[in-house]
Amino acid sequence: MKRAAYYSCVPQMQDHWPIKKALTLSDVDITHPFLTLSRQQVENHIVLHMTTEQQEHLRAQGQVDFNARDDDTGEMYVMKLKWRGSYYNLIGKWGRVVRGKGLDVGQEIKIRWENGCLHFSVPQQQIVAVPPIRMVAAPLVQDHWPIKKILTLSDVDTNHPFLPLPRRLVEDHILVYWTPQQQEQLRKEEHVNVNTRDYDTGEGYIMKFKWRGNYYNLIGKWGTIIRQKGLGVGKEIRLRWANECLFFSVPQERYVATASGMDNWPIKKALTLSDVDTNHPFLTLPGKAVEDHILFYWSQQSREQLRSEHQMNINARDDDTGDAYLMKLRWRGSYYNLIGKWGKIIRGKKLQVGMEIRLRWDNGCLFFSVPQL
């Protein structure tokens, strides 16, 4: 565990509750009780204030015990913080907390570290107010697509057809509208049938949501949809839940316009958890996209060298800042990894899951850009 850089020089925040999170389906699952917390928040607002001994124990063992207090009731617990690489799990008595407080999806938990103890609170007014508001207010709103994803190589593979969607987005924008019975069925059986409609054509399907831990797979008729709509890497799919149905759309103008004109970024990717992990820094790119839009411009000799040595040094430039890097493109069979200075780029640009990176090859150099929203 290489974590020393995170345990110094982060100032104490004035916010009384520096960590706030809307609970997800996995957070309130009492069959596998744990609360998932982001690594940066935990290290900036909890680990930073632990004793040196606790920090060393966490580094060496990957977990540490501590006292925790429910500020709403005054109850005390001995709990455990477990390092999971890109995030942390709060375990121990978490299942008891979920049952005792009647926690459910969408409720907000607030956390802070004070005087050697982890304090947490779930405001009661939010517990009462959230379910009826969010369950009832699901009108079909024009151009309201809370879930958007740039399709990857695995998303459009008709041999193994499934569409993976981030857990947080699914739970915040789809499952929150489900009945408690539907949510419970998904928890127990790990999959549930859903009515689905192609917003572009009006065609309806019966599909299936399958829970896979940190994400959900949309399966069933996905292979049919790929073929019928001619889906390919780089196209954007949009999804929303309304009137007990999952609507999806793939706007045609989005990818027709990109093929030519001023927007000259043939490779676009929504960053995943592994793409922004500074402990093992690499950017994964689909094989076909790299071969069609990068290797296509290489000399035959350079392509042969990549095949024989499985990696090649390349010049890269951040189109947003002008910074230049010497990086490596590594061949991994069906995909490629961009390595070298990728960890420095993650930190410098503060890249996060869901951000879109765009790439192109121009004049012997790999240009990349991450548009700021």
Question: pLDDT 10s per residue in the chain (373 long)?
Answer: 444 444 334 444 456 899 998 888 778 877 778 898 988 889 889 998 999 899 888 888 889 999 999 999 999 999 999 987 778 899 998 989 988 888 887 788 999 999 999 999 998 754 333 333 333 333 444 447 899 988 877 788 888 899 999 888 898 899 888 888 888 888 888 789 999 998 888 888 999 998 877 778 999 999 999 988 888 777 889 999 988 899 999 886 433 333 334 458 999 998 888 888 888 899 999 888 888 889 888 888 888 888 888 999 999 999 988 889 999 999 887 788 999 999 999 999 999 888 899 999 988 899 999 987 6
**Cβ pair 292, 266 in contact under 8 A:** yes
Domains and CATH numbers, the chain: 19-121 (2.40.330.10), 147-249 (2.40.330.10), 267-369 (2.40.330.10)
Cα(200)–Cα(198) distance, integer angstroms: 5
pTM score: 0.39
Measure the CA–CA gap between 42 and 353, rounded to whole angstroms. Answer: 17
3-state helix, strand and coil shares in percent for the chain, rounded to the nearest 5:
30, 35, 35
Q: Where are the alpha helices (DSSP H) in the chain?
A: 39-45, 52-61, 94-101, 124-136, 167-173, 180-189, 222-229, 252-258, 287-293, 300-309, 342-349
